[in-house]
Amino acid sequence: MENLELNLLASTLRTEHWEKIKNFITPQMFPKEWRSIAQAITEAHLKYDNIELLDAKTVHAVHGMMFPAMPDSKGDEANELITSLCSVPEMDDNLAYDYAKKFWQRSMAKQIGEKAVQFWVGDDENAFSDIAKLMDRVTNNSMEGHETFTIVHESFDELIESSNKPPEFLFGIPSMEEHLPGMNRADFGVIFARPEVGKTSFCAHLVAQYLAQGKKVHYWANEELAKKVKLRITTAFFDIDKYTLLENRHDYKSTYDDVIGNNLVVIDSVGTDITEINSFTTLNKPDVIFIDQLDKVKIGGDFGRGDERLKELYVMGRELGKRNDCLVWAVSQANYEAHQREIIDFSMMDNSRTGKAGEADVILGIGKGLGVDDNTRFLTISKNKVNGWHGTAHAFLNIATGKYYV
């Protein structure tokens, strides 16, 4: 038994210190012969919360109740270890916490090494994604972060201040920003419309807006040819048509390289699985992701109906943003009910009336009415968990540049 494990486990006998580290130091982190004792200490704290310092008698008793069938030889060994554990001199609280932090770091290093070996021998193709997550936790000292949850520690003042912060990702359309100024990290938005109304152009407009804000954007294109999407984003960024861009390419190349070249990744993703998108996102850390179209992305599992598959896909789309601290925009089709309609709501999304919509923070439908000016678009927010506003903003689409304006 190394001195680090011994001193750390001894420090957990004191309730005050155990409370500080219980969420990131687990019994499974200790050497095999000590795990049952660590479990007994945890159980004793949960059962006898009025005891400030566990003694050997209490730990012996709880250990015996938890592991009554333990062989005599193993039981004698455990009892000896408990006795020696309880004889370790008490440490200063700050020193004990430093021991816990160092122990946690070593445990994370072990997990990273094991994941690397799994990838090396071919047992886990997604190991790099897991390694990236583990590395992030170590780098950021996120000791209470786990695969499925992270404890929120913000104080009252911090919570209030965070709610008053302006949105990080703006729309760049004043008629929209008047009601819904923008989006934030971990938000999940859905953009939908009928074919040829302007979904991809709206995405190109938003990407251009985010690039102008200095954001790193990933665009997964599984419908339109990816290089065409990238060109549309470029014309929207410079707000010029492709012919002008071609004639004056030397005037724009430097800015293209510095801004678009360094911050935009467009991926031709026909046949891509959602787990691949998650792995790529974890490794490359974009600020914003567009998935055009999310409905066409593959997902593992057996689903009795198409809407069940879509619901699970959109659940994973939401988790993609939360796990990677980025904004996610999914693009989807509208069904025939939305054809030649100015105002369309999420009930008109293709293949799912509720399953897909239930996961989104914001749903934006792009409408275009019969007989209305070809450039006029109606941007309807039919779901809004960001600030609660629902309604329609008017805008115009410059078809040649892919830029929306008012």
**pLDDT at res. 195:** 92
pLDDT in tens, 240-272: 999 999 999 999 999 999 999 999 999 999 889
| Angstrom distance (rounded) from CA 327 to CA 306 | 26
The answer to whether 209 touches 327, Cβ cutoff 8 Å, is no
What does the pLDDT read at residue 337? 92
104-135, pLDDT tens digit by residue?
888 889 888 988 888 888 777 667 777 877 88
Q: How far apart are CA 41 and CA 349, in angstroms?
A: 53
* Secondary structure of residue 403 in the 3-state scheme: strand
Is residue 1 very low, low, confident or very high in pLDDT (cuts 50, 70, 90)?
Answer: very low
Residue appearing with tokens 């105002």: 343
DSSP codes of every residue in 32-47: HHHHHHHHHHHHHHHH
Determine if the pTM surpasses 0.85: no
pLDDT digits (tens, 9 = 90+) for 13-61: 999 989 888 888 888 888 888 899 999 999 999 888 889 999 999 999 9
Q: Cα–Cα distance between 161 and 166 in angstroms, integer? A: 10
| Contact criterion met (CB below 8 Å) for 213 and 287 | no
* Residue pLDDT, tens place only, 336-359: 999 999 999 999 998 876 778 889
Determine the pLDDT at residue 373. Answer: 72
Rounded to the nearest integer, the mean pLDDT of the chain is 89
Residue 97 has pLDDT above 90, yes or no: no
